[in-house]
Every structure is written in C-alpha cells, then in structure tokens.
Amino acid sequence: MELNNKIKSWPEAAARLIAVAAGREPADLVIKGGKWVNVHSREVLEGYDIAVAEGRFAAIAPDLSSAIGPDTEVIEANGRYMVPGLCDAHMHIESGMLTPAEFAAAVIPHGTTSMFTDPHEIANVLGLEGVRMMHDEALMQPVNIFTQMPSCAPSAPGLETTGFEITPEDVAAAMQWPGIVGLGEMMNFPGVVAGDPKMLAEIAATQNSGKTVGGHYASPDLGAAFRAYVAGGPADDHEGTCEADAIARVRQGMRSMMRLGSAWYDVETQITAVTEKGLDPRNFILCTDDCHSGTLVHDGHMNRVFRHAVDCGAEPLVALQMCTINTATHFGLERELGSITPGRRADLILTSDLATLPVEHVIARGKTVAKDGKLLVECPHYDWPDSARNTVHLGKTLTASDFEITAPEGANSVTARVIGVVENQAPTKALTAELDVTDGLAQPDAAKDIAQIALVERHQGTGGVTNGFVSGFGYKGRMAMGSTVAHDSHHMIVVGTDREMMAACANALGEMGGGISVWKDGAEIAAVPLPIAGLMSDDPAATVAERAGKMVQAMADCGCTLNNAYMQHSLLALVVIPEIRISDLGLVDVTRFELTELFT
C-alpha cells in the first residue's frame, strides 16, 4: 500500500540510499556534527552526521563528508541533539477547531511530524464522505497524517441519533484507501463485550486488512468485561486515568496510551507504572487526544506532552520513545518512521536541550519545514464543498418555551438528576439536587451551581430540544453558552441560566452555520464560527485561537472558573463515558447504558 503520495517508498528509494551510504553518490542533505538520539538503543551518540536522500535517511555516521556534493544542502547541528520527529498516536483534528491543513500548520513548528488521527467527529455529521475529505486533505500535507477509519457513529446505538451512520461496509471500503492506517477508537465497548455482530464485523475488516484496531474502554471495571473487550481485538486504549488502568492494559497485550490534551491530564497518574513500578516503557505511548487551537498556539503539541512526562519523572530518552518509535511500532510503521535510522522518513528535530526540548529546527521528509517556531512551508487546503459548510438545520426558530422543564403537576420542588462536570477529566458525576418549581417549571439554581443544559437537534431539522441540568461551570447572571461541537453526535449543546438567552444563542449558531456562541444580558459577547461541518474553521490557527481566547474570557465573565471549560462543555453529550450524559433521546445513564428520567 502506498502510504503517501509525496515520498518514494523505501524500495523505490533503496538504490539511491545505498549509493549515498556507500559514498558513491552525494546526498540531498547532510546534517553535520550533532548528538544522535537513537530511540532503538536508547542512547545519545555524540559527533555524528546524517545523510538524507529521496526524503529518507541514508546513513548516520561520525563523518559523512563523502556524501557532500556541490548541490548537497548542509546544515550545521553545532552539537545539538538530533531527535526523531514527534508522533501523536491518538488525536482528533476537529478538536482543534481546524482543518487538517491548518492543524498541520499549527503543530509543525512544535516538532510534530506524524499524526494518527480519528475523524469520527466529522463522521457523525457527514458520514463516510466527510471522512474521505479529511483523509484527502491529510495526504496533501508536508508531514505524515495517517487516518484511522471511525468505528462508532453512533457511538452508542439506541442512545443517540447521528447525522450519518458508519457501517461495516464503510469500514471495509475505507481500509483500501491509501492513508488509512487502522480503525478508530472502538467506543462501543459494551457492544464488543456483548459480541455485537456489527462491531465485530468492523474489527474483522480491519484485522483482515492487517491494520491496527484502536481501543476506547471507558470503564473502571478491569474484570471480565475488560478481558472480553481485549479478546475482541482492540490493540490500545487511551481512556485510562490511574496506574492500575495502565498496568492492566499492558499486561493484557494492549498499548497504554497516556494523554495530555487541553483538558485531559492522565499522564501523571499513569506513568508511575513505568517510573515507579518499572514496567517495560516500550508498551506505553504518549498522545494528546483533544487539543484546541489555543493550546496549540500558546503551549505546544506533542512537545508539551513530552515535557510534561519528563516533569512527571520519566527519563527524557524513555519519554521520547513514547512519542516516536513506540507509536510507529504500534501501527506497524517502525520501518517507516519514528527513528533516525536508514530508510526511514527523514523527520527530525534539532534541539539544544533534551529535557525541555526547545524545537529549533524541524525537518520533514528531508526538507526544512519550520525554524525557531516559524512555519516555512505551505500546508495545502482541500476545496471543501457547500455540502460540508451547510450542516446546521434547526427546523424552526427556537423560543424560550423550547427550553422549559415542566415539573410534575402540583410539585413545589423536584429532585432532579444533574450532570456533574469533573475538572480536567472526561468522566462526569451523576448527581441529584433539590430544585425549586415556579409556575410549574423546574428552575436552575445559581447558588447551588446548577445551570440548565439543552441538546438541540441539528442534523435533520426536527426542532427537537432535550432539557436537563448541569453543575460545575459556576455560571451566574443571565447567560447562555452554546456549541455545535458536542461529542460524539455533534448536535448543539446549550448551557445557560436563562431560557431567553439559550434560545437566542441556539438561533445565532443556526444563522452562523455552526460554531460557538456566548451570550450575556441579552447580547452575544463572543463567537467562534466553525463553518465546516459545524466543527472546524479553515482560518489559520492563530486567528481561531484569538477568537477562542475571547470565548474563554466570555465564559469567565459569566462566572466560569473551570479549567478548559469549553472542552468539558463539548463532552456533555458523550454517551460512552460515565456516569451521566445528555442526548437527543434524553438523559443517558452511562454506567448502565440506558436512558433515565430527569426527575427521581
């Protein structure tokens, strides 16, 4: 299978690589006098040169002057570390609010040269055609963006309604595409545990293609259910939150993916399996999962995760393996990328410090793509059609009455189930609260930090609104916050303290064609347009990050102090992670995978 249309395969380049390594032909590029960071042997070797030809490493040796010809580009490493380009093993480009092109443009200066992406967000909105568009733009980029075919749309059949459904036939067809490297996270873990034929058919289509099955086991149960899930075929998992989770996965032959995203801080609690328990680090992988544009612009990408792992006690060379060769090995690409060794894609970073990893020079496929934080190459854009830009269908103009929650007849108060947001984690808490009833309607209570939440159907234009309550954001006054990014079905989620504000917010998002809107005291105070599938903007990351920054400030102006509160907002409909969520069909008890009533 041709993995990318912009670089010769190793067999195609072999004759030239041999000639350069043997000293018979000049290289295209020689990097002189650096410290070779070898992730295969886990050592640093001083005083080495690197020769590159046809976008691949040809030779690494103490003196490669023989490979320098009149047209050879020479880069002086000046004693700096020569590190493999960083790999993100599990991520969703859409979470950055950016297209693949603009996401690549944002992360290349941070040293990320390979990404393994699961576009299941767009799959829920546009189906297989949306996945194909993401796949095609990914292959246009100057770095390696591999696509995992989404597995679960809907993620929990019977508990939510998506814009499109992904079928085993879709999965089998996508496995033949040039940039597909495996199956995206298998979120329907109850289906796998129960032997659901559809889920097993998707896994079989992937395994029969010789590709990797991504996992997603969001349950604390490490007993029979976990063993059954592993037996079904998923090869990795990123939903662990504690040391026991990481150990259990590795002991069962899975790779433990530890994530540091914009809102997920799951490295520190799991990496002790390596740093304290002494487990083999080659079975642990670092990833981001979800990073919004502000994090990418201001804090970094995989370089941020690497530094965090080192801060948590990992040896730099071990942490580096976790975001280079371990990832490549996991996806069957160890002979293609992830290390500075002959034949591999010439992806590397020059850095002056191995622990803090300042990214000073980035090379991808043998060409300089960024230097001192500046992007130096073009990241081509796909021509997104109108069908991808017209995806928000409300069916009607919403009013405050659509957000009313009628209490049982004659009640002066109600005991309501409340979604409890947990800071910096994906799971929620299933809470209950006593709420007042006024004019027959159950009321939110700012004093108890309980706001109203509504899921507005936006795929089929049904005009449907599901109402409930949420706690943890700290909102005060008359406000509403809405987004068409609502994992995984990506309807519209509106959280607010005032029904009129919630209706205005929802209507504004409909007129905008998707995105994020924050309202306070009768006016919109921040907006982030996301016109592509209601998920992404094709504007530059810095522009989107500036808008997102104003959105975060607007949430704070409404009383929110939660870290990365927008990421928490976007997950309130994620009906595959416990304990309680909201969908277009009602409140979902994710511990039992069944619908539940709002009032107890």
Indicate which CATH number applies to the domain containing 178.
Answer: 3.20.20.140
Q: Are residues 110 and 168 in the same domain?
A: yes
| Under-50 pLDDT residues of the chain | 1-4
Structural domains counted in the chain: 2
Structure tokens at 417: 């189930």
What pTM, to 2 d.p., does this model score?
A: 0.93
Q: Is residue 25 part of a domain?
A: no
Q: Are residues 328 and 474 in the same domain?
A: no
Q: Which domain holds residue 97?
A: 83-383
Instruction: Tell me the C-alpha to C-alpha distance, in Å, between residue 351 and each of 46, 282, 300, 317, 440.
Output: 14, 23, 15, 14, 65
Q: Is residue 217 part of a domain?
A: yes
Contacts 24+ apart (CB under 8 A), 64-68: 64/27, 64/30, 64/32, 66/23, 67/20, 67/23, 67/25, 67/26, 67/27, 67/30, 68/26, 68/27, 68/30
Cβ partners under 8 Å of residue 302, min gap 6 = 86, 87, 88, 107, 110, 111, 112, 286, 288, 323
Residues 317, 273: contact at Cβ < 8 Å? no
**Rounded Cα distance, 7 and 53, in Å:** 11
**Rounded Cα distance, 396 and 343, in Å:** 58
Residues 262, 299: contact at Cβ < 8 Å? no
Residue 258 phi/psi, 5-degree rounding, is: -105, 125
Q: Are residues 377 and 302 in the same domain?
A: yes
Half-sphere exposure for 514 (CA within 13 Å, toward CB):
25
Complete edge-to-edge strand list for the sheet that includes strand 450-456: 441-442, 428-438, 413-421, 465-471, 450-456, 492-496, 479-483, 515-520, 523-529
**Rounded Cα distance, 381 and 586, in Å:** 38
Q: Is residue 74 part of a domain?
A: no
Q: Is residue 416 part of a domain?
A: yes
**pLDDT computed for residue 5 by the predictor:** 53
Q: Is residue 40 part of a domain?
A: no
Q: Are residues 378 and 391 in the same domain?
A: no
**Rounded Cα distance, 595 and 589, in Å:** 6
Q: Is residue 47 part of a domain?
A: no
**pLDDT computed for residue 156 by the predictor:** 85
Cβ partners under 8 Å of residue 387, min gap 6 = 126, 129
Q: Are residues 392 and 378 in the same domain?
A: no
Q: Are residues 302 and 409 in the same domain?
A: no
Q: Are residues 411 and 392 in the same domain?
A: yes
Q: Are residues 226 and 128 in the same domain?
A: yes
Strand partners, 212: 182
Its sign, for the CA torsion 119, 104, 339, 4, is: positive
Q: Quick check: helix, strand or coil at residue 221?
A: coil
Half-sphere exposure for 374 (CA within 13 Å, toward CB):
3
Q: Are residues 364 and 492 in the same domain?
A: no
- Which has the closest alpha carbon to 517: 532, 541, 534? 534
Last residue of a domain, one of 383, 410, 426: 383
- Which has the closest alpha carbon to 239: 512, 472, 509, 576? 576
Last residue of a domain, one of 383, 404, 434: 383
Q: Are residues 379 and 405 in the same domain?
A: no
Q: Is residue 212 part of a domain?
A: yes
Residues 348, 84: contact at Cβ < 8 Å? yes
Q: What is the dihedral of CA 39, 41, 45, 51, to 10 degrees?
A: -60
CA 116 to chain centre: 9
**Rounded Cα distance, 34 and 49, in Å:** 7
Residue 372: cis peptide before it, omega within 30 degrees of 0: no
Last residue of a domain, one of 340, 367, 383: 383
Residue type (1 letter), 531: P
How are the residues of the chain apportioned to helix, strand and coil, as percentages rounded to the nearest 5?
A: 30, 30, 40
Q: Are residues 324 and 443 in the same domain?
A: no
Q: Is residue 331 part of a domain?
A: yes
Q: Are residues 275 and 187 in the same domain?
A: yes
Whose tokens are 């990328």? That residue is: 337
Residues 107, 322: contact at Cβ < 8 Å? no
